[in-house]
């Protein structure tokens, strides 16, 4: 393939617009072929704004022979069906996390996409962020030595809308899943998950049985420990930071300031922080789509695969179980030809 990889995008909400802008403007190897949203007004608005065709149905994207791949950025409960339909139509698939709200559907989707022989990348964007990538490269080169402690924070400034929360799969599957993927990618496989959670900011969150604050503790196969803290309602801004302490060095990826000036009044200094994930990741989201297009064009395996999404989903459901039961969950990573699969007693109460 010599042309830019032409990608049709479905779902133009908070995340879909970020991906649409990146595909339209910031990817050398990809081109935004067309956009679609279940709300036709939204599709028209974004299509006109970005000066790309907007279509009336998902099938219009799949029927277009000039489209090489789809980016699925719709609510989580729709990912599996849209991924399978795209793969069956011969389109490569970039799918936002998680693949599905349940394990069986996740497995079936991975199988269907594999059978169709197309590329399948999942939206774990931190694997494409220059800071995390640089840290992992130096860790892989042995500069950090043995890992002792992994620590990561992911905190939203404010909770998303109630409709989003209701279809999100719950706090661990929607939010912590990013940190669990980062933990596996940076440190390795996990053997035990403990979790505590609470909902304090809004009774509506507790009413749907969800959380706004959680702490997850991991024990890794190599004996290292991990601590994840998550919030839906940090208030001061959006934060994502990670630290890995090792026998030879420690790497810390801080939460950078968003504005590059500091306002100083006598005795005080204020700096601007990112308000949301769009501001926190000026490069990662564009880079993950650029990398996806390169995988399609050059026949390479994506860095964040369907099996990675399954492993992180399994750890997220283990965290959910640990929170509900109040007991740590022992998990067993099993290597397969395609990746790692986690086993644990899913019925434990
Ligand atoms: N990687 C990240 O950092 C990140 C951040 C936010 C959201 N996400 C993921 O992205 C996905 C979308 O989240 P969001 O916050 O943008 O949601 P959103 O509710 O803001 O937007 C969803 C959009 O999809 C449209 N839609 C609904 N059903 C559709 C269908 N069948 N076909 C086409 N369009 C449809 C809706 O009209 C809406 O415009 C979720 O799976 C979420 O987990 C990932």
Share of the chain above pLDDT 90, in %: 98
Q: What is the pLDDT of residue 2?
A: 67
Ligand 1 proximity of 13 Cβ (cutoff 6 Å): yes
**pLDDT per position as a tens digit, 179-200:** 999 999 999 999 999 999 999 9
Q: Which residues of the chain have pLDDT under 70?
A: 1-2
- The 3-class SS string of 176-235 reads HHHHHHHHHHHCCCEEEEEEEEECCCCHHHHHCCCCCEEEEEEEECCCCEEEEEEECCCC
Residue-level pLDDT at 349 = 80
Regarding the beta carbon of 45 and ligand 1, being less than 6 Å apart is answered no
Say how far apart CA 89 and CA 16 lie, in whole Å.
22
270, HSE (Cβ side, Cα atoms, 13 Å): 5
Cα-to-centroid distance, 242 and ligand 1 (Å): 26
Give percent of the chain above pLDDT 70. 99
Residue with tokens 């390795």: 188
Q: Whose CA is nearest to atom 32 of ligand 1?
A: 38
Q: Comparing C-alpha atoms, which of 231, 276, 199, 256 is closest to residue 18? A: 276
Query: What is the number of the ligand 1 atom nearest to the C-alpha of 161?
Result: 19
Whose CA is closest to atom 9 on ligand 1? 96
Q: Looking at the DSSP assignment, which residues form a beta bridge with residue 32?
A: 7
335 Cβ contact list (under 8 Å, min separation 6): none
Residues 6+ apart with CB under 8 A from 130: 283, 284, 287
What tokens does 233 get? 């309602």
In the three-class reduction of DSSP (H, G, I as helix; E, B as strand; rest coil), residue 93 is classed as strand
Query: By the 8 A CB rule, do 217 and 225 touch?
Result: yes
Model confidence over 156-174: pLDDT tens digits?
999 999 999 999 999 999 9
Atom 30 of ligand 1, nearest CA residue: 38
- 110-153 tens-digit pLDDT: 999 999 999 999 999 999 999 999 999 999 999 999 999 999 99
- Report d(CA 238, CA 123) in Å as an integer: 18
For residue 196, how many other CB atoms are within 10 A of its CB? Answer: 14
Give 12 Cα–ligand 1 centroid separation in angstroms.
7
* Tokens standing for residue 82: 């849209």
Q: What's the gap in Å between 32 CA and the centre of ligand 1? A: 17
pLDDT on residue 180: 98
Please check whether residue 197 is in contact with residue 211, taking contact to mean a CB–CB distance below 8 angstroms: yes
- Residue 223 to residues 146, 148, 192, 218: CA-CA distances in angstroms? 10, 8, 10, 10
Q: Quote the CA–CA distance of 278 and 113 in Å, as a whole number.
A: 29
pTM (whole model) above 0.95: yes
């Amino acid at each position: 393939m010599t042309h830019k990889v032409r990608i049709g995008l479905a779902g133009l909400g908070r995340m879909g617009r970020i991906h649409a802008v990146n595909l339209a403007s910031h990817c050398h190897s990809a081109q935004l072929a067309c956009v679609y949203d279940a709300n036709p007004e939204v599709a028209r608005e974004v299509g006109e704004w970005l000066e790309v065709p907007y279509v009336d149905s998902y099938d219009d994207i799949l029927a277009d022979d000039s489209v090489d791949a789809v980016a699925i950025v719709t609510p989580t409960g729709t990912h599996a069906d849209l991924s399978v339909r795209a793969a069956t139509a011969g389109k490569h698939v970039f799918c936002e996390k998680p693949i599905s709200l349940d394990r069986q559907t996740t497995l079936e989707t991975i199988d269907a996409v594999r059978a169709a022989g197309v590329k399948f990348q999942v939206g774990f964007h931190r694997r494409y962020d220059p800071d995390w990538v640089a840290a992992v490269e130096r860790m892989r080169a042995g500069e950090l030595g043995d890992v002792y402690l992994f620590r990561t924070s992911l905190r939203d400034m404010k909770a998303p809308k109630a409709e989003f929360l209701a279809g999100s799969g719950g706090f661990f599957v929607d939010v912590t899943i990013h940190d669990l993927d980062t933990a596996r990618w940076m440190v390795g496989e996990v053997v035990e998950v403990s979790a505590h959670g609470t909902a304090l900011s809004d009774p509506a969150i507790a009413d749907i049985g969800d959380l706004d604050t959680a702490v997850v503790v991991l024990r890794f196969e190599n004996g290292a420990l991990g601590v994840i803290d998550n919030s839906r309602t940090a208030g001061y801004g959006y934060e994502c930071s990670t630290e890995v302490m090792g026998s030879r060095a420690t790497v810390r990826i801080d939460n950078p300031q968003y504005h590059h000036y500091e306002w100083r009044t006598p005795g005080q200094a204020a700096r601007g922080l990112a308000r949301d994930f769009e501001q926190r990741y000026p490069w990662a989201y564009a880079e993950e789509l650029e990398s996806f297009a390169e995988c399609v064009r050059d026949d390479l395996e994506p860095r964040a695969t369907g099996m990675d999404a399954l492993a992180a989903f399994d750890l997220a459901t283990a965290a959910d179980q640990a929170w509900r039961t109040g007991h740590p969950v022992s998990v067993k990573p099993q290597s397969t030809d395609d990746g790692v699969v986690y086993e644990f007693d899913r019925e434990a109460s």
